[in-house]
Structure 1
Amino acid sequence: MVKLSIPQGTRDFGPDVVRKRNYIFATIRQSFERFGFQPLETPAMENTSTLLGKYGEEGDKLIFKIINNGPNILGQAQMAKDSRELGLLLCEKSLKYDLTIPFARYVVMNHGKLQLPFRRYQMQPVWRGDKPQRGRYREFYQCDADVVGSNSLLNEIELLQIYDTVFNNLGLGNYRMKINNRKVLTGLAELVGRPDLMLDITIAIDKLDKIGDNGVREELAQRGLAAKEIDLVMEFISLQGSNESKLERLSQLFTNSPTGLKGVEELRFIIGSGLTAFSSLPEIDLTLARGLNYYTGMIVEVKAPAHVNMGSIGGGGRYDDLTGLFGLPGISGVGISFGVDRIYDVLEELQLFPETAQQGSQVIFFHPGAGKLAEVFGYVTRLRQRGINTEIYPDDIKQDKQFKYAEKRGIPYIGYVEDSAPGKISFRNMIVKQRYSLSPEELDTFEF
């Protein structure tokens, strides 16, 4: 007999889990809509050429490629000039790594039809060939909101406010929001005297949480920085103090870096404009790098409450020319993403899911036997027409077995009819252990 399993890094979701996940999706979707974002969906697959080279060297390794089928694969492979071309010939399609690059591709393909600025949200699964572990899966959902066609920093502020709104609505008011700016990291590379290694420095810094100070030092050395240059990088990212003190210190350091000063100016506006109030003020974190190549301005990462052992539960940033990768330069964008799977794990650990998030059927009617089946099914239909989730046990079996079924399902109300009370419907509230006897007319107004 074949032992059944599912691919590593993927999961089945039973009804209870799906209901809780839908609660998270609904909370996020409500905020996206409230802030004026429009829904969008893109295919699970993209052309491999669309994805490669957009996520940096680390990201490219994690793209799930789909091997072509057909009789001419070997013949095509022999035509390849190098390993990259071979990969594209053998695997013309790949599962999407995130929602941002497919969105950029959509914008380019539909540019003439879109009203800019275009505010869109997407809630779909993505796939990465990562090593599975707690909070990290190979198939997982992202919920993204992006604005393209606007350079205004008001977009950054509103996106951060969406984070604040969603996490407070989910009961995670003690979340931690970290922000930085890629222009500040460019200023760091110029300060060190190695603007040519800006991306290398960024990639190394981005691993600080995983490999620690010594690991970052080793990686910077491997990427070509000298010992004094490494010391400058480590001194820079270890700057402490309030947001204002960090901004003041950066202004002093970047006297010869217009790009760095521009990053400081943007950060100051985002957190100090007074346009909105956050329950948790974003904290400037100079170690925040987000290794994706396309970020050019503000970058943000959201962490779970400090006492929860979990990585980031959201992140994003500004990308000034993402569509330029596909031949349409000059369209600026900024976006954020929610990590639904990690958010679920955090809410579960902290027991923050409300009871309503787990509720399915509100009422179940016992099967009354063939003689009264039409009568009871009429009551079921009336409750459904009122918008009350109602079911009827499908088999004519002993009521004690039907009762155990309802009890295990956690259905709040049991309905049944009795020969001793014709024209009446009996209900039992399983939560407060109370009984009711209603007429068919009262059934239309009773609050379940």
Structure 2
Amino acid sequence: MAQKPSIPKGTRDFNPEQVAKRNYIFATIKAQFETFGFQPIETPSFENSDTLMGKYGEEGDRLIFKILNSGDYLSKVDNRSYLDKNAIKITPQISEKALRYDLTVPFARYVVQHQNDIEFPFKRYQMQPVWRADRPQKGRFREFYQCDADVVGSDSLWQEVEFVQLYDTIFTALGLKGTTIKINNRKILSGIAEVIGASDKLIDFTVALDKLDKIGEEKVKEEMLAKGIPQAGIDKLQPLFSLTGTFEAQIESLKGILSTSEEGKKGIEELDFINKAIDALGLKSANLQLDVTLARGLNYYTGAIFEVSAPEGVAMGSIGGGGRYDDLTGIFGLPNVSGVGISFGLDRIYLVLEELGLFPETITKSTEVLFINFGDQEALFCLKAIKTLREAGINAELYPDQITNGKHMKKQMNYANKRNIPFVVLVGDEEMNNSVYTLKQMSSGEQSKVSLQDLVKALQ
């Protein structure tokens, strides 16, 4: 007996209902992206390895799926590396390409490669799958979609203000109220590292701090100690672990903590500007919250850092994130091009909407009327009506297999029931002779004979 087929862990098949719901999210996000002036682009699913490697930090590099070279990929491996079984040395020799880890780095590559064809500032959105060799768990997959919006070529803080509004607008359109848009600034993190004497360990510091909500305060301190951050410096962090209050109150506290750091004070000024602008403009359903422990351990953020949390009571990780990167394109030879962007986690947003029952019932509607097939003549008569219905925007179909000697009628009706098709149409000799159609409502069983014109009106 053949073994039952399966799919890789961290990937999924989607049935028609799930696809319809996902498309609803895509369409809602896309509509708001375009309302805010963003233009669509697409990039390949895989990139050259040197485009991706080294851009996400050590942890990120480990999660990048490498693609084996075609042909005899072992032929280029030197004997020493092969005998040592050193994966780090062997990998570049057997893999020159990798699946994209996110959409931001490929976007930076795109900007540099097509810089002569781009009008700056360039506002782009991208909705494509990405891949990460992560441990699968609820809301975390190895293949998933990201929906990104970025602006490059402007260092204006009004872009950050617009991105906060964009988050709020999209989640409002999805009916998802009570989301929290967390914000921090990389300059504040740099200032904190400077104050505690750990400027040379900024990445280690931020990677550890970013895990606070996952592993807790004591484990974060242990990781910092293990990375060589002195105990005296960690002790100075204590006020940050308990920093609470309004956005404005936290800003005032930070001014005291970072009074000796020019970089930190610059970060405070930027956050204060964004908060005051949002306070003046207002948000519809989200709230903006300062979180000084927010680090998002990616190396390329230089200014504002965003992360969006689902409403309280929903056990889900972040459903969006992003930030400012002042020189991401510099890694590809185009320096001093500032950018800022945000991302929406489609799969997690799907799970949140499902849990809260926020998907509209109408989005899963497929076929609205099924024509029963009594024979070839009847089928042709039905298809002429179906053509008219489709032109009127009504989803209609003919059951392909005809009834033979009175059989299969029940099968066709059961098919309509299982597909949740609300109406069926029956056409026999009497209907064809009188150019009418017997319309049956499946829920009530009521039947009526109608003309084609009345059939269109009834189904509309």
TM-score by length of 1: 0.96
Q: What one-letter code is carried by the residue in structure 2 that aligns with 1:308? A: V
Distance change in 2, residues 1:230/1:366 (3 Å): same
1:202-221 → structure 2 map (5 Å cutoff):
202-221=206-225
| Distance in 1 separating the partners of 2:366 and 2:248 | 49
Structure 2 equivalent of residue 226 of structure 1: 230
Q: Does 1:298 align with 2:298?
A: no
8 Å Cα contact 2:179/2:287 also seen in 1: no
Letter in 2 for 1:238: S
Secondary structure (helix, strand or coil) at the match of 2:110 reads helix
User: Which digits, 9 at most, give the CA deviation of each residue in 1:387-426, with x for residues without a partner?
Assistant: 2221111111332221111111112222222444532122
User: How much identity, in percent, do the aligned residues show?
Assistant: 52
Tell me by how many angstroms 1:367 deviates.
1.2
- The answer to whether 1:8 aligns with 2:9 is yes
In the alignment, what sits opposite 1:362? 368
Alpha-carbon distance between aligned partners in 1 of 2:222 and 2:256, rounded to the nearest angstrom: 28
* 1:106 to 2:110 alignment: yes
Query: Is the aligned partner of 1:415 residue 2:425?
Result: yes
Post-superposition Cα deviations, 1:269-290, rounded to whole Å, max 9, x if no partner, equal 1121245221222100111111
1:277 and 2:277 matched: no
Q: Distance in 1 between matches of 2:16 and 2:78?
A: 45
Contact 1:366 1:402 in 2 (8 A): yes
Which of the numbers 358, 368, 374 marks the counterpart of 2:380?
374
Q: Which residue of 2 aligns with 1:430?
A: 442
Partner of 1:440: 452
CA–CA distance in structure 1, aligned partners of residues 89 and 153 of structure 2: 33
Q: Which residue of 1 aligns with 2:148?
A: 144
Kept in 1, the 8 Å contact 2:39–2:123? The answer is: yes
Relative distance call for 1:72 and 1:213 in structure 2 (3 A) is: closer
Alpha-carbon distance change, 433 to 286 in structure 1, aligned in 2, over 3 angstroms: farther
Shift of 1:163: 1.1
Closer/same/farther in 2, CA of residues 362 and 187 from structure 1, 3 Å limit: same
Task: Note the aligned Cα RMSD (angstroms).
Answer: 1.8
Does structure 2 conserve the Cα–Cα contact (< 8 Å) formed by 1:147 and 1:334?
Answer: yes
The alignment status of 1:165 with 2:169, answered yes or no, reads yes
Q: 1:234 to 1:430 in 2, by over 3 A?
A: farther
Contact 2:327 2:337 in 1 (8 A): yes
Instruction: Give 1:44-443 correspondences, 5 Å limit.
Output: 44-71=45-72, 73-78=74-79, 84=88, 86-273=90-277, 274=279, 276-278=281-283, 279-397=285-403, 398-421=408-431, 422-430=434-442, 434-443=446-455
1:22 corresponds in structure 2 to 23
Q: Verify the 8 A CA contact 1:423 1:439 in the aligned structure 2.
A: yes
Paired AA for residue 161 in structure 1? Q
* C-alpha distance in structure 1 between counterparts of 2:399 and 2:176, whole Å: 39
CA distance in 2, matches of 1:235, 1:254: 12
Question: What CA deviation, in whole Å up to 9, does each residue of 1:230-272 have, x standing for no partner?
Answer: 1222422421110000011112222221111111111111121
Once residues 439 and 124 of structure 2 are traced to their aligned partners in structure 1, the CA distance between those partners, rounded to angstroms, is 46
**Amino acid of the residue matched to residue 415 of structure 2?**
Y
| Residues 49 and 88, structure 1, Cα contact 8 Å, conserved in 2 | no
Distance 2:266 2:72 in 1: 55
Give the whole-Å Cα distance in 2 for the aligned partners of 1:271 and 1:307.
Answer: 26
**1:6-60 CA distance string (max 9 Å, x none):** 1111111111111111111111111111111111110011111111110011111
Tell me, yes or no, if the aligned pair for 1:188 and 1:236 is still in contact at 8 Å.
no
- Tell me the alpha carbon deviations over residues 169-221 of structure 1, each in whole angstroms, 9 at most, x when there is no partner: 11211112111111111111112122111111100011112211111011000
The CA deviation at 1:437 is 3.2
**Paired AA for residue 143 in structure 1:** C
Query: Counterpart of 2:44 in 1: which secondary structure?
Result: coil
**2-structure distance, mates of 1:429, 1:77:** 72
What SS does the corresponding residue of 1:305 show, helix, strand or coil?
coil
